[in-house]
Amino acid sequence: MRLFWALALATMATAAGAAPRFAATIVRTPFGIPHISAADWRGAAYGVAYAYAQDNLCLLAEEFVTVNGERSRHFGPAGKAVAAFEPIDNLASDLFFRSQIDVAALRRGLARQPKAAVDLIDGYVAGYNRYLRDVGAAGAPVACRGKAWLRPITRDDMLRLNEKQMLLAGSLPLAAGIAAAAPPTAKPVAGLDARGLGFGDGESGIGSNGWAFGGDATADGRGLLVGNPHFPWNGPNRFWQMHVTIPGQYDVMGGGLAGTPIPTLGFNKDVAWTHTVTAARHFTLFQLTLDPADPTAYLVDGKRENMAKTVISVPMPDGMAPVTRTLYRSRFGAITVVPAALMGWTAKTAFAIRDANQGNQRGLPTWLAIGQAKSTADVRRAVETSLGIPWVNTIAADRDGNALLADVTAVPNVPARQIEACAVPATKALLASAARLVLLDGARAACDWQAAPGTPAPGLMPAADQAVVARRDYAANSNDSYWLNSPRAPHVPLSPILGPAQSQRTLRTRSGLIEIEAQLAAGKLDARIAKTMAFANKSLAADLVVPALLPLCVADASLADACTALAGWNRRFDNDSRGAYLFAAFWNRVQANPAIWRTRFDLADPVNTPRDLNTQGAAGDILRAALKSAVERLGKEGIALDARWGEVQFAQRGADRIPIHGAHGELGVLNVQQAVVVPGGLTPVHGTSYVQVVGFDATGPVADALLSYSQSTDPASPHFGDQTREYAAKRWHRLPFRPAEVAASAVGTPLKISE
């Protein structure tokens, strides 16, 4: 009620002629892209929030339910939430957010942030709440109309949301393990499931491609950026396009996630940048040695320390009693269990997780500084000084022809020698596993993160110990580690926490580097070539495998139809590619088996190895069996062996089935689309999202872009599927940036809002 009267008084003051505290103008151009202009930071975020709510009100409202730990109350404890990038049950989500987000500490931290950052948060709150008032209870989209969880927000909601975004690639994927951690004598809460790691990168989870070309590689001698984040098609981690202008201070166009008050990737007059998920780990696990007499006490340097206990109460739906749970914390962080990694809580050991991004409020000021950069040197300075970028590489190109890749994030300061010195028996195996978990000995205080002078928070790795590539030709990343962002200059090995070095790269990384080098060998690049490369949909796996696979059919009549389909396939995942699904089903069964290659990984040739399909003996039997299995799968699904890819993979938008090109990165396809099986084929759930190709002319940026899944999640919106259809046709769109371009492209009347 207090919030209602504050909002009402603000509205009356504006109506009475007082100078508005918040004011913005919103101009929409084709595909619903909003161009928000304001006189200050408060007004800019006010307009962004209003425009975002117009497109995605219910999605964002539900996200505030999530970060407040209220999903069980509104959606039931057994329902599912997407806390990071994989679903977990609502009860686990609520327990995590109620226990791991310290709002009081975040309030104190906000007081130390630049005024612009505070104004952006306050402006976003005001803009979101203004839209709620304007639309009214009856005007909300169907998905949240009349729901109790559709409510005004406060600054605390934004602080929680920002904290959640910082933890996306750290402790949040292990939320279920934190929620389920209980002493061996206690009964776990019914319904909690912590079996999976819930953590992945590279080809199994969050990802992206980012290429920065410098003047030595481009036809015009200026920088050229290709950015293609691979992010979810559904939920709060979808990108949304925007253009934000404060005359004389800020003029940036690009994209951001739900609740982001400014673009977090995009371009200004002089610089374009994108992000890819880094291979670095932003947390460490600690193995605790427990007191034999008490599993809630542990020993550090032989001295006993009691775990801190916090009783968390999670509200349930009406008529049900709250669920209470006691969670535990050590000096090294929250206690967690990870059964998939054989890390449980026993009478002898427990495990704690410490996340470098917990309490990281430096991200928004860093993105503000990047947006105001005039060169890649400015971008580098912003990233290195703040250590505020949470879990992504920063890839940039500028109008002067400089290219930058900064794998500099908030990373625990644990050098290689410390990992070795602080190893426990499971450390080596976990570091070598797909999850690449860093496990340290919590029985020794010396094994905690090392403090380094000059870092903005204790225990962070200095930027000087992380990887930066600054070149005039190019730097590229497809979620592999810092080691091979250009085959022309491999990076020296760094701490294992930053990712593996001198090791086999993914097919997607290899594909990107092969394509770039081939294009440069043919001549210099321009935006037209870059756009073709981004959506070429070539499969490196197919190029390596199909020629040697086809002769296997000669002696096996049961494979004749399959091989006919593969022989007629163009080895791409375009919408009209016939036979692509058959190969994808086959490759899914064999791609992880190293026995299929005759030439293994060679450090002297990391881009082109492994290669040479082994079709002899047992390896040949494996290949034939996999192909037969793929044929059987397509038969059960009722899909022809030579079906067009666009008939198999599609996005449903109302009554329309929109064909979707691109495929899984494990196929060596750059234009990633990870899909799930649905009746009649596949539908994408994760992959190409906001893709941009940005160069520069004499006066400013020249940007072509697409948002694959479109701006709005509301089926009633005209922008629910418009860009999805454009993506299907590979129709790029020149983004209006200069004021005259925006005015000429405007759709409808500008919307002016203030209070």
The residues that are catalytic are 208
Residues 484, 492: Cα–Cα separation, whole Å: 10
Q: Is 233 left (phi over 0), alpha (psi -120 to 50) or beta?
A: alpha
Q: Tell me how far CA of residue 154 lies from CA of 28, 59, 346, in angstroms.
A: 27, 17, 41
Nearest to 409 by CA among 455, 478, 474, 440: 455
Look at residue 187 and give its three-state secondary structure: coil
Residue 389 φ/ψ, nearest 5 degrees: -70, 125
**Structure token digits, residue 664:** 């899984």
- How many helices, marked H, and strands, marked E, lie in the chain? 21, 32
Residues 590, 92: Cα–Cα separation, whole Å: 35
Describe the crossing of helices 41-67 and 115-139 by its angle, rounded to 10 degrees: 60
Residues in the chain: 755
Ordered alpha helix ranges (H), 591-704: 617-637, 645-648
How would DSSP label each residue in 441-499?
A: ETT-GGGSPPP-TT-SSTTBPPGGGSEEEEESSEEEESSS-GGGS-TTSPPPP--GGG-
Q: Is 665 exposed, middle or buried (0-12, 13-18, 19+ CB in 10 A)?
A: buried
Q: Is 682 left (phi over 0), alpha (psi -120 to 50) or beta?
A: beta
Amino acid at 420: E
Q: Which residues contact 732 (CB under 8 A, 6 or more apart)?
A: 531, 693, 704, 705, 706
Beta strands 283-291 and 439-441, pairing class: parallel
Report the b/e string of 429-446 with b at 16+ CB within 10 A.
ebbeeebbbbbbbbbbee
- Taking the alpha carbons of 542, 546, 549, 550 in that order, is the dihedral positive or negative? positive
Beta bridge partners of residue 467, listed in sequence order: 407
Look at residue 258 and give its three-state secondary structure: coil
**Structure token digits, residue 94:** 């609520």
State the chain's maximal CA–CA distance in angstroms: 88
Amino acid at 344: G
Q: Which residues contact 593 (CB under 8 A, 6 or more apart)?
A: 622
Report the b/e string of 114-142 with b at 16+ CB within 10 A.
eebbbbbbbbbbbbbbbbbeebeeeebbe
Q: Is 474 exposed, middle or buried (0-12, 13-18, 19+ CB in 10 A)?
A: buried
Residues 164, 258: Cα–Cα separation, whole Å: 11
Report the b/e string of 24-37 with b at 16+ CB within 10 A.
bbbbbbebbbbbbb
**Structure token digits, residue 510:** 């290899």
Residues 487, 489: Cα–Cα separation, whole Å: 5
